[in-house]
Amino acid sequence: MTTYTCKTCGGVASEKGHLCEPAETKKMYTCDYCGSQAPVKKHLCKPMVAKFKYFCENCGRGATDKNDVCKPAALK
């Protein structure tokens, strides 16, 4: 199955018409938490979000490991 990722926002869709600047996804990744296929390594799923222990003070991204973000801060 071909998937497309938006170059602008990173959105993912199975059809080009659903994205503002679509680019065909070349590689798929398997999520370590839920096992689903995702076109980007930054896939977020409910099992992963439930295990967040850190967030990035620069961009706000959540993470399960402090090495996954550039400026980690512990969630309280």
- pLDDT tens, residue by residue, 16-68: 888 888 888 777 788 888 888 887 777 888 888 999 999 999 988 899 999 98
**Residue 25 has what pLDDT?**
77
Domain count, the chain: 2
Pair (54, 30) in one structural domain:
no
Pair (36, 52) in one structural domain:
no
Read out DSSP for 12-73? EESSGGGSSSEEE----EE-TTT--EESSTT---HHHHHT--EEETTT--EESSGGGSSSEE
Pair (51, 27) in one structural domain:
no
